Amino acid sequence: MEVILAEHAGFCFGVRRAVDTVYEQIEKKKEDGRSIYTFGPIIHNEEVVRDLQERGVKVISSLADAEAISEAERGTVIIRSHGVERRVCESLKDLGFEVVDATCPFVKRIHTTVEKESEAGKSIVIVGNAGHPEVEGIRGWSCRSVYIIESVEEAEEFACKEGEKLCIVSQTTFNYKKFQDVVEILNKKGYNGSVVNTVCNATEVRQAEARELAARVDVMIVIGGNHSSNTRKLYEICRQECRMTYYIQTLGDLHLQLPETVRLVGITAGASTPNNIIEEVQNYVRINF
Ligand code: F3S
């Protein structure tokens, strides 16, 4: 029996890079014993966050948290892949922290665009979810007005000042089709603006690959947290293609009884599933069937 692991199973490039950065910092700091913090949980995965906690990494959620730390304890703060506002980085440095920036380069590119375009006189439109940390971070790189549009309905209602120049960007995880719809509505309204497509295709690639794999295999295993909406979506996509699709959180949930006829098993995983869990499942299936 053959087991095929989807190439883009689990962490996207930016999240993997951020998680790796934390482990690198843990190694680096072993000698000097300085404290390590992440600004917000590095990833929405309890096991990873717990593992990091056990290795002494603490989570701070705000500048107020950072200020409350005694000067002697102010070590390194790692910025996660979502990125943060410019003032957060500056304030952390002013407080005496060393800042290690693990912002995903695709998000960083949005920060740079927003900074440059707002300095050139444009107001910024972010197509994305207000309140999402990535959107809040992007907002914080503009020196001019920022508008956030979450839906086509909001785009229909949108109005800015006469003659105001706009630069439109999107949250990286925003649906590309919806982004296009919003841009089209704004264009129809005749706004004077430039559009920078900053949607990241990591999710789409993972889903397309899962669909293609599920269509080829006899059994499909999807690994990810119970509350992970992107894993549920992966499961639904795979289930449409392969009737024998299993949704598991860890190896412990896998109670496979495979018919003799099964030749090909496919495995994929949601965006916040760590590699070791994927490997465990993959090895188990390889060895036991
Ligand atoms: Fe991941 Fe970076 Fe895209 S964090 S989803 S690779 S923007």
In DSSP notation, 84-153 reads --HHHHHHHHHTTPEEEE---HHHHHHHHHHHHHHHTT-EEEEES-TT-HHHHHHHTT-SS-EEEE-SHH
Phi and psi at residue 27, in whole multiples of 5°?
Answer: -60, -45
pLDDT of residue 220: 97
Among 107, 109, 129, 128, residue whose Cα is nearest residue 117: 109
pTM of the entire structure?
0.88
pLDDT of residue 197: 94
Quick check: CB of 14 below 6 Å from ligand 1? yes
Chain centre distance of CA 104: 9
Token pair of 287 as six digits: 């060895």
Q: What is the 3-state secondary structure (H, E, C) of 196-208?
A: CCCCCCHHHHHHH
Give the sign of the dihedral formed by CA 280, CA 286, CA 287, CA 289: positive
Chain centre distance of CA 36: 21
Quick check: CB of 76 below 6 Å from ligand 1? no
| Residue among 81, 179, 205 to mutate when testing ligand 1 (max atoms within 8 A of CB) | 81
Gap between the Cα atoms of 23 and 55, Å rounded = 9
Give the distance between the most distant pair of CA atoms in the chain.
Answer: 70
Quick check: CB of 12 below 6 Å from ligand 1? yes
How many residues are listed for the chain in this entry? 289
pLDDT of residue 192: 83
pLDDT of residue 139: 98
| Residue among 200, 230, 272 to mutate when testing ligand 1 (max atoms within 8 A of CB) | 200
Gap between the Cα atoms of 92 and 42, Å rounded = 17
pLDDT of residue 2: 94
**145 contacts: CB under 8 Å, gap ≥ 6:** 123, 124, 160, 164
134 is catalytic: yes
Token pair of 208 as six digits: 């397309």
Amino acid at 36: I
pLDDT of residue 103: 97
Tell me the pLDDT of the chain (289 aa) as tens digits: 899 999 999 999 999 999 999 999 999 988 788 899 999 999 888 888 999 999 999 999 999 999 999 999 999 999 999 999 999 999 999 999 999 999 999 999 999 999 999 999 999 999 999 999 999 999 999 999 999 999 999 999 999 998 899 999 999 988 889 999 999 999 999 988 899 999 999 989 999 999 999 999 999 999 998 878 889 999 999 999 999 999 999 999 998 888 888 999 999 999 989 999 999 999 999 998 8
Residue 13 alpha carbon, nearest atom of ligand 1: 6
